[in-house]
Amino acid sequence: MSVEILINATPRETRVALTDQGLLQEIYIERNNKRGPVGNIYRGKVVRVMPGMQAAFVDIGLEKAGFIHAADIMQCGADGYEIASPQPQPQPLPITELLREGQSLVVQVAKEPISSKGARLTTHLSIASRYLVYMPRSRHLGISQRIENEEERERLLATLTACAAEAGLAESGGFILRTVAEGVSASELLADIHFLRRVWAAVDRRIQDEGRGIKVLYHDLVLYVRAMRDLLKPQVERIRIDDRQIFDEVKQFASEFIPEIEQSIELYEEERPLFDVFGIEEEIQKALSRTVKLKSGGNLVIDQNEAMTTIDVNTGA
């Protein structure tokens, strides 16, 4: 057996499993009622400007208007890219010089709405892939601080610069290397860059073409689509999905952004549940049990109480 991605959907949750030679390697679970607007990009309308707070409220079609501070409004030059400041934390312009009531504004949700407060918004747009974060209105190249090895940091930045130039994006947006990029090859970074370019091209078309009304322009990816973005590797030979709607969405996403994997996607329609056929349910139950057996012969004993969770490691010696 080869490397496969299995996608199981129920009314309550979606689960994605990555298997290698029939053995569960990774499992991801997303509750359907926990999806929020963070990461979504909207065309909104400024409904109130608050000079005393250096902020404004923007209607983006949610229950409550979102909140944006002057510091979260990107100042762009005539070329449409962010104006670089010599100061690490420059003072923002007065909010009244940046926004006016009734103005149309493209924003991204940075933080979830909380209680009576609306979502926190920003005009610093970004789209993430497995290894990179793409900033279409910036020319900054950065790297996660969690990658500490200096040689690896230099290698990654040099590789990213070369890949961006090869993809024709050397002066067309900025990138940040994520922590999981440590050790990746140039071909993997280049594949991510091509993916991000296609996604942003689609978003940009919506920004230009869809009038001036309040509208969502980009939904941050749901779990089963993120799996296509983050888990796909050359070793993955098959993607099995047990839900017709999700199958159609994944096929559509693949045809638009990752056409090379479209033929690997299959709809699972057998009567026996997908996760039962591949032994995933059994593996999940083992992982959630109090005692977890390890390949080495040892085991973990996990106890949870009100004050703490304790993990006892037994070597099996």
Location of each CATH 2.40.50.140 domain in the chain: 41-124
Confidence bin at 258 (pLDDT 50/70/90): confident
Predicted confidence (pLDDT) at residue 245 exceeds the cutoff of 90: yes
Model pTM score: 0.72
pLDDT of residue 211: 66
- The rounded distance, in Å, linking the Cα atoms of 168 and 156 is 18
How far is Cα 263 from Cα 278, in angstroms, rounded to an integer? Answer: 21
Q: What average pLDDT does the segment 82-98 reach?
A: 75
pLDDT (mean) for 290-307: 84
Q: Report whether pLDDT(50) > 90.
A: yes
- Beta strands 309-314 and 66-69, pairing class: unpaired
Q: What's the average model confidence in pLDDT over 97-107?
A: 92
What are 226-238's pLDDT values in tens digits?
888 778 777 888 9
At 278, is the pLDDT very low, low, confident or very high (cuts 50, 70, 90)? very high
Judged against a pLDDT cut of 80, whether residue 9 lies above it is answered with yes
In the chain, the amino acid numbered 281 is E
Residue 1 pLDDT greater than 70, yes or no: no
The CATH architecture of the domain made up of 41-124 is: Beta Barrel (2.40)
pLDDT greater than 70 at residue 85: no
Distance CA 234, CA 65 (A): 44
Mean pLDDT, to the nearest integer, of 185-209?
88
SS3 assignment for the chain: CCEEEEEEECCCEEEEEEEECCEEEEEEEEEHHHCCCCCCEEEEEEEEEEHHHCEEEEECCCCCCEEEEHHHCCCECCCCCECCCCCCCCCCCCHHHHCCCCCEEEEEEEECCECCECCEEECCCCEECCCEEEECCCCCEEECCCCCCHHHHHHHHHHHHHHHHHCCCCCCCEEEECHHHCCCCHHHHHHHHHHHHHHHHHHHHHHHHCCCCCEEEECCCCHHHHHHHHCCCCCEEEEEECCHHHHHHHHHHHHHHCHHHHHHEEECCCCCCHHHHCCHHHHHHHHHCCEEECCCCCEEEEEECCCCEEEEEECCC
The tens digit of pLDDT for each residue in 13-23 reads 999 999 998 88
- Flag whether pLDDT at 84 surpasses 80: no
pLDDT one-digit tens code per residue, 91-100:
888 999 999 9
pLDDT digits (tens, 9 = 90+) for 124-148: 999 988 899 999 988 888 999 989 9
From the centroid of its chain, how far is CA 89? 26
The average confidence (pLDDT) of the chain is: 87
2-11, 83-92, 146-155, 293-302: least confident range: 83-92
Task: State the pLDDT at residue 87.
Answer: 58
How far apart CA 317 and CA 299 sit, in angstroms, is 11
Structure-derived torsion over alpha carbons of residues 243, 247, 248, 250, reported in degrees to the nearest 10: 140
- For the ranges 172-176, 241-245, 250-254, 294-298, the maximum mean pLDDT occurs at 241-245
Contacts of 252 (CB under 8 A, 6+ apart): none
Which homologous superfamily does the CATH classification assign to the domain defined by 1-35+222-278? eRF1 domain 2 (3.30.420.60)
Q: Is pLDDT of 160 > 70?
A: yes
